[in-house]
Structure 1
Amino acid sequence: MKEILKNKTFIKYLNIIIGCFLLGVSINIFLKPNTFVLGGVTGLGIILDSLAQTYFGVPFPIWLSNILINLPLFLIAYKIFGLKFLGNTLFATFFLSFTLAVTDFLPEFTEDIFLAALFGAVIDGIGLGLIIRNRCSTGGTDLLAIIINKFLRHIQISKILLCIDATIIFTGIIVFGVRPTLYAVMSVFIVSKVIGIVVDGFDFAKAVFIISDKSDEIGHSILNIIDRGATSLDAHGMYTKNKKNVIFCVVKQKQIPELKEVVADIDEGAFVVIANVSEVIGTGFKGMID
């Protein structure tokens, strides 16, 4: 069992499965019931389902529209790029349709539209973040943008994707009105922030630059007292032209007060710059594939 849990491929697909499940929960509980169109194929699916029920009196499940829209895109991508290009995206796309189907029975949350937009976006962002972190996507508008870019090389994929998703969101305004669309736009912003946190990591740290005439003493104190590595960088003052050593180190947030105290005890006139770091990979923090 331990060997399975350490298997990178197993962990990768487990994250993709959890991510797809969270997307299904977010869409069926929060986004679809409140007609939040965040772009993408699932956003288009929410629109198609509403139109089908309004004009034909029958539902058009999002899991079904997700398959029907993605299937021709996969066939085109296979023809242009080959099967290897599709990789895990094929699995993620169809597993997302599966989770959309199996979570369709979950109770809908419509009591508070703001809370629905907030929690729907957070759960959606975590799900997408887990999928993207494992170098995968759920196809849809991402895949369409890549296909279009193949023929329109002068237009960036990000701009094509923005135009496609903006068109879907604008269609949401026409179908559902301005109010739910404004909440959807807010949700898009939250989703992007949550994806960034999940992909970049939760292990926030601080990068510290220290300029002092007593750099050697400060460096040794960082190594021995704080138990962190430090690097000495050669530099010179632009005004004085004097050579200086800049100490660079990365510490955990809780170690900052101790670091300040160590530097102040050695050189109260030291110039210290502390910057936020969202992810640190290496000894004392985490591995490359964590």
Structure 2
Amino acid sequence: MNTRALLEPMGSWAWWRSWIQLLIGCMIMGSGFVLFINPYNIVPGGVYGAGIVMHNIFPSIQVGTFGYMFDIPLMLTAVLVFGGQFGARTVAAALFTPGYMNIMTRLVYSDAAFTADGINLDPAYLLGGSVNLSNDLLLACIMGSVVIGVGQAIVVRTQATTGGTDIVGMLLQKYAGIKFSTGIFIADSVVVLAGLVVIGFGLGSASGEGAGWVLSLYSLVTIFLASRVIAYALDGASYDKLLFIISDEHAALKKFVIEDLDRSATFLKARGMYTDKEKDMIFLVVNRKQVHLVQRKIQEIDPKAFVVVTDAYDTYGEGFKPFPEAGTIQAQ
């Protein structure tokens, strides 16, 4: 439980900003579903993916309404596990998003989509058919993945979730040590299998060119892309770089690292397997933008140096990221 957040004054700008950010994230995510996912019966996991599956069985009930049905038990779990403050925001997101999706669906679909038999989410009725991507489902997947992923990441940055498999992913991270985005992928895959049975094998109401088992492949693409967008938005794409440098020009390299890079490094004892000679190896972490500068400088100082460069996915400490607080959500 984030006790520091609880102690923030109710009128502080940081408190209001976090809630505004939460609602904006929910709106972005809901828009991604309504505009790019629901009309094409793509099932990108989550409670709303499950809602799409159920909508094909019970077309008179909107996808967002099924979201309420699935979210409530998971939402209660989040309150119990992650505490009052976290639970409050999760409750708000879980209650706001399905209602927003239902309202937006009503606004962007023409009256012809609402019949006595149910709600027809045919994209031909969506905004007068102006955004009909029926013949380009891959583009619909990409657009939906990006919009949904950005929305979910914004919500997670407020230390909340949009409910559903977000909560499952967080539980897996907390108790099983599974990456947050990987946990979502696993949980969502179960929903995709349900979509394959109901929509892919024709047990639901979906029919025509847009229906078929191939939609499950698009669903998997959507899940993967959305999880990558979440990870990118939370952690960024510029991972730090870890360099192992073996050189005889220690003094020059030390001066360069300390004075020019304004960083520090560590000498590690190493011994060559072929020569059996002991040498000092430099252990250095820099950001992505600095790695080429370091490589050029090493070439200038000691062209015979041996250098290994690899990704440092997370780097904590002075000059890098602060250590995460207990209970915070991470995308890795």
- TM-score under structure 1 normalisation? 0.77
Output the amino acid matched with 2:310: A
SS at match of 2:304: coil
Give the corresponding residue for 1:35.
41
**Aligned 8 A contact 1:203 1:279 in 2:** no
Deviation at 1:250, TM superposition (A): 3.1
Counterpart of 1:197 in structure 2 is 232
Distance change (3 Å), C-alpha of 1:192 and 1:147: closer
Q: How does 1:19-168 map to 2 (within 5 A)?
A: 19-53=25-59, 58=60, 60-75=61-76, 81=81, 84=84, 86-104=87-105, 105-106=107-108, 107=126, 109-111=131-133, 112-143=136-167, 165-168=188-191
TM superposition shift of 1:278: 4.9
Is the aligned partner of 1:174 residue 2:174?
A: no
Offset, 1:68: 2.6
**How much has 1:11 moved relative to structure 2?**
4.5
1:270 Cα shift?
1.0
| Superposition deviation, residue 31 in structure 1 | 0.6
Corresponding residue of 2:297: 262
Evaluate the alpha carbon distance shift between residue 114 and residue 286 of structure 1 in structure 2; reply closer, same or farther with a 3 A threshold.
same
> C-alpha separation between the residues in 1 aligned to 2:317 and 2:43?
40
Q: How far has the Cα of 1:242 moved from its partner?
A: 3.9
Q: Work out the CA distance in 1 between the residues paired with 2:93 and 2:245.
A: 46
Amino acid at match of 2:196: I
Residue 264 of structure 2 corresponds to 230
Deviates more, 1:92-101 or 1:137-146: 137-146
Distance 1:117 1:205 in 2: 30
Q: Distance in 2 between matches of 1:157 and 1:259?
A: 32
Task: Specify whether residues 62 and 283 from structure 1 end up closer, same or farther in structure 2 by C-alpha distance, changes over 3 A only.
Answer: same
Change (3 A) 1:244 1:171: same
AA aligned to 2:297 is V
Give the number of equivalent residue pairs.
Answer: 273
2:68 partner letter? I
What's the CA shift string for 1:200-240, capped at 9, x where partnerless? Answer: 22444433221212223212113333x33031222121525
Aligned partners of 1:204 and 1:157: how far apart in 2? 17
Once residues 222 and 250 of structure 1 are traced to their aligned partners in structure 2, the CA distance between those partners, rounded to angstroms, is 10
Q: Secondary structure at the match of 2:39?
A: coil
What is the Cα deviation at residue 249 of structure 1?
Answer: 2.9
Q: Which residue of 2 aligns with 1:186?
A: 221
Counterpart-to-counterpart distance in 2, 1:41 and 1:99: 15
SS in structure 2 of the partner of residue 250 of structure 1: strand
Give, as a single letter, the amino acid of the residue that structure 1 aligns with 2:132.
T
> Shift in Å at residue 175 of structure 1?
2.5
Letter in structure 2 aligned against 1:196: A
Distance in 2 separating the partners of 1:281 and 1:140? 31
One-letter amino acid of the counterpart of residue 125, structure 1: G
Distance of 2:169 and 2:301 partners within structure 1: 56
Query: In the alignment, residue 154 of structure 2 is paired with which amino acid?
Result: L
- The sequence identity of aligned pairs, in percent, is 26
For the residue of structure 1 that corresponds to 2:283, the secondary structure is: strand
Which residue of 1 is the match for residue 286 of structure 2? 251
Query: TM-score, normalized by length of structure 2?
Result: 0.69
Q: Calculate the aligned-residue CA RMSD, in Å.
A: 3.5
Of 11-20 and 182-191, more deviation after overlay is shown by 11-20
